[in-house]
Amino acid sequence: MKVVGRPLPKVDAATKVTGRALYADDIALPRTLHCRILRSPHPHARIASIDTSAARRMPGVLAVITGADLPVKFGILPVTQDERALEHEKVRYVGDPIAAVAATEEEIAAAACDAISVEYEVLEPVMSIDAALDPPKDERIQDYGGPNNIHKLVALEFGDVDAGFARADYVREDVFFFQGNTHLPMEQHSAIATYVDGKVTLWSSTQVVHYVHRALAKVLELPMNRIRVIGAAHGGGFGGKTDPFAHEIIVCKLAMLTGRPVKCTLTREEVFYAHRGRHPVLMWVRTGVTRDGRITAMHFRSALDGGAYGSYGVASTFYTGALQTVTYDIPAYRFEGCRVFTNKPPCGPKRGHGTPQPRFALELHLEKIADDLGLDGVALKRRNFVKPNTWTVNWLRVTSCGLEECTEHVIKASGFHDRRRRPGHGMGFAISSYLSGAGTAIYWNDMPHSEVQIKVDRGGVTVYCGAMDIGQGSDSVLAAIVAEELGLQPADIRLVTADTDTTPIDLGSYSSRVTFMAGNAALEAARKMRSMLVEAVEAGGRKFDDVTFEEASVLAEARFGTLTSAGSYTPPKIAGPYKGSGVGPSPAYSYSACVIDLDADARTGLVHINKVWIAHDVGRAINPLLVEGQVEGSVYMGLGEALMEEQTFRKGLHKWPSMLEYKSPTFLDVPEIETFIVETVDPEGPYGAKEAGQGPLLPVPPALCAAVHDALGVWIDEVPVTPEKVLEALRRKGKGELPRYGPLRFPLIPYPPTIKVDAPPSTI
């Protein structure tokens, strides 16, 4: 192959390094008005009245809107349409949008927001999982779900779990907590809208133009053909720009009212309120094993602190129980999940969506079991690794699987088993897996998940696809695939992406789906185009490889007329025969293994990371440079979550919504990272490719905690691992108590009766 597998620069590299890429906030249209949003100062309150008259009178203010102007509810999942662009009845977290102003200057819009007076009837806020499980003092946060402030309950059993535990030689239970954290993209969310000729056009920093398109149609009550959503250059998402957001709807409405372009760029503080980040999750896990460490059964419970709205929360809940089985062969498995509403910014999908938390619990839990049995943790895990081409007990189809190779790489390179012991030094190992795209769509439909069109015209090639490049390089992947098939270089390909008017559907940049799904669609379209070109060339008695591309395209255009081709991708229907089986299936799973080497100081509790080794089974690296970038970025984000990032609350509001106090690791805080790319060539991925952007984050937090245990002999069963937690664990160890820091109990949750599902045949 001439393009695939080569470490080529991204197709948009030049625009990114010259400052020419136009992000949403860079777009300056004539007569643009600036929008600011008034947000709730209360975590939980009913709105008694809103008086916007003073704001409306301010010179420079052209429009003020409230919830009465946008009453239709929306939400990313069809089952949780619980958000309004502006709330006029009730606010559910500090930061909930109430009113919006369009003014000639941003400072006027901000001052006008301050001039809006709102009367509230303050309600008791619910700020923890425990509080949400109790009867509300005043009223429930949402009017659906329940009992109390429970949003979603799920209970599933695969295989005979009781029998599995009965035949175990050893059973262990543990409780873990994974603190919530946020995406913190460098670019604050921004959107700018126009309303011309009865049509709304929105440029936004979004990961999914299609979902924004759908939400706008619903809330603005316009046909989809009157709305165009264009993905502007994207300054970072990590899952945080995957929901449709209030400000996107608001600028459209304000543009419709004023007839002028309206822009809204969130402040950094507002980005923390937009959130949709990592759920704080409390977890309980019980596993039975045989004497030699083979898992016989597992029972996993999770409780997710969802924040005030649904967002992706139902999916997040299922994800906390879905992928345990994709790395370890668990013959019988019970999962009970619960998501609660609290008066905090809504949680949603962040890199790894619902799976880093259980991965953290699972990996450490198995380390502890190995410890108890006197077995090597790596050996115990290896003994239970899933095999390629098998079904898991919960009906997930595993095809290619590079777990063994990944483990081999990091164990060998790090010298894991040959390390010399010295005080305070430790190494930790963990593995993980992630989806290459969700196998089912967010809203039920039978249409493809991704579509690509190719136009060839006098030698020029243009690729159209709805996929949104959020910096991960999806445009470059599309260009590489089409170039490979047509015998060109990526630089020869023009791309039109993420524009609902001009490009066919793609469900966007989330769930690590783009390379696999848009890649397959591009491959199909490119192969169809190639066959036309080949046919036209060969009709003249020549071979495709002997003519220039320009010649081939002229011959083909002469033969067929306008040269277009299309390809699409629909994931295989492999979901299991039970309710809730839509979350977890993926056409392919990536695999990672990680070793962390660190020094931990028993006196201060400070942890210094020396090095991280990570191996990732990406199936096939279409562009190894971009794969490495995704892996390194994942490790970085995993380290941040493991050591310092946390979304915490005090007095009913976000404790510190700023980049100074929300700790994002700097150049000086990140160790050397050594990356190994493992290629297992997946049978269904484009050229065998799988995902790279999320999976490698997952093993980092548990590997870190395992290394801290190796160094100091204490278990830190929650992240972030702050020095005070390490010291507290050491204090307990010194007093002869349990040498750990972490949650002590898992709450009583009224799970529904378990749905029992028979296990599938084990091999494909």
Considering only residues 461 through 490, tell me which ones interact with other proteins, judged by CB under 8 A.
Answer: 470-473
Which amino acid, one-letter code, is at 613? W
Q: Tokens 């790894």 map to which residue?
A: 352
What whole-number distance in Å separates Cα of residue 738 and Cα of residue 715?
9
CB atoms within 10 A of CB 380: 21
Binding residues among 614-633 for other proteins as defined by CB under 8 A: 625-626, 628-629, 632-633
Q: How far is the CB of 67 from other proteins (least distance, A)?
A: 19
Nearer to other proteins, 562 or 666 (CB): 666
Nearer to other proteins, 210 or 241 (CB): 241
What whole-number distance in Å separates Cα of residue 307 and Cα of residue 199?
35
Contact 594, 635 (CB under 8 A): yes
Nearer to other proteins, 190 or 400 (CB): 190
Which amino acid, one-letter code, is at 263? K
DSSP string, 422-438: -TTEEEEEEEEEEESS-
DSSP state of 515: I
Binding residues among 534-593 for other proteins as defined by CB under 8 A: none
Among 236, 354, 402, 448, contact with other proteins (rule: CB under 8 A):
236
Binding residues among 637-656 for other proteins as defined by CB under 8 A: 637, 639, 643-644, 651, 653-656
CB proximity list for 196: less than 8 A, separation 6 or greater: none
- Asked if 137 touches other proteins (CB under 8 A), the answer is no
Q: How far is the CB of 198 from other proteins (least distance, A)?
A: 30
Q: How far is the CB of 119 from other proteins (least distance, A)?
A: 15
Instruction: Work out the end-to-end distance of the chain between its first and last CA atoms, rounded to an integer number of angstroms.
Output: 30
Among 164, 235, 280, 587, contact with other proteins (rule: CB under 8 A):
235
Please work out the total of residues on this chain that contact other proteins, with binding judged by CB under 8 A. Answer: 99
- Asked if 222 touches other proteins (CB under 8 A), the answer is no
Nearer to other proteins, 21 or 554 (CB): 21
Residue 763 class from Cβ within 10 Å (0-12 exposed, 13-18 middle, 19+ buried)? exposed
Q: How far is the CB of 63 from other proteins (least distance, A)?
A: 17
Binding residues among 409-468 for other proteins as defined by CB under 8 A: none
Nearer to other proteins, 9 or 388 (CB): 9
Nearer to other proteins, 234 or 365 (CB): 234
**Chain centroid offset of residue 680 CA:** 24
Give the H or E element holding residue 564. Answer: strand 563-569
If DSSP states are collapsed to H, E and C, what string results for 112-132? HHHHCEEEEEECCCCCCHHHH
- Asked if 12 touches other proteins (CB under 8 A), the answer is yes
What whole-number distance in Å separates Cα of residue 222 and Cα of residue 244?
16
What whole-number distance in Å separates Cα of residue 296 and Cα of residue 277?
34
Q: Interface with other proteins by CB under 8 A: which range of 13-21, 118-126, 214-222, 680-688?
A: 13-21
Among 134, 372, 661, 737, contact with other proteins (rule: CB under 8 A):
661
What whole-number distance in Å separates Cα of residue 201 and Cα of residue 500?
10
Nearer to other proteins, 548 or 658 (CB): 658
What whole-number distance in Å separates Cα of residue 401 and Cα of residue 329?
13
What whole-number distance in Å separates Cα of residue 731 and Cα of residue 73?
51
Which amino acid, one-letter code, is at 700? V
**Token code pair at residue 317:** 């809940």
- Asked if 13 touches other proteins (CB under 8 A), the answer is yes
Among 427, 505, 607, 714, contact with other proteins (rule: CB under 8 A):
607
Which residues partner with 755 through β-bridges? 156
Q: How many CA atoms within 13 Å lie on the side-chain side of 488? A: 25
Q: Which alpha helices (H) appear in 342-496, and where do they start and end?
A: 356-373, 377-384, 403-414, 474-486
- Asked if 167 touches other proteins (CB under 8 A), the answer is no
Q: Tokens 């402040």 map to which residue?
A: 267
Q: What SS3 class is residue 76?
A: coil
Nearer to other proteins, 126 or 283 (CB): 126
What whole-number distance in Å separates Cα of residue 618 and Cα of residue 350?
20
Binding residues among 68-127 for other proteins as defined by CB under 8 A: 94, 106-108, 110-112, 114-115
- Asked if 20 touches other proteins (CB under 8 A), the answer is yes
Among 18, 445, 562, 763, contact with other proteins (rule: CB under 8 A):
18
x/- binding map, residues 171-210, to other proteins, per CB under 8 A? ------------xxxxxx----------------------
43 φ, ψ (degrees, to nearest 5): -70, -30
Among 50, 233, 410, 452, contact with other proteins (rule: CB under 8 A):
233
Nearer to other proteins, 299 or 351 (CB): 351
Q: How far is the CB of 238 from other proteins (least distance, A)?
A: 7
- Asked if 22 touches other proteins (CB under 8 A), the answer is yes
Q: Interface with other proteins by CB under 8 A: which range of 244-252, 452-460, 598-606, 679-687?
A: 598-606
Contact 534, 541 (CB under 8 A): no
Q: How far is the CB of 327 from other proteins (least distance, A)?
A: 23
- Asked if 660 touches other proteins (CB under 8 A), the answer is yes
- Asked if 30 touches other proteins (CB under 8 A), the answer is no
Q: How far is the CB of 37 from other proteins (least distance, A)?
A: 10
Binding residues among 717-736 for other proteins as defined by CB under 8 A: 722-724, 727
Binding residues among 350-409 for other proteins as defined by CB under 8 A: none
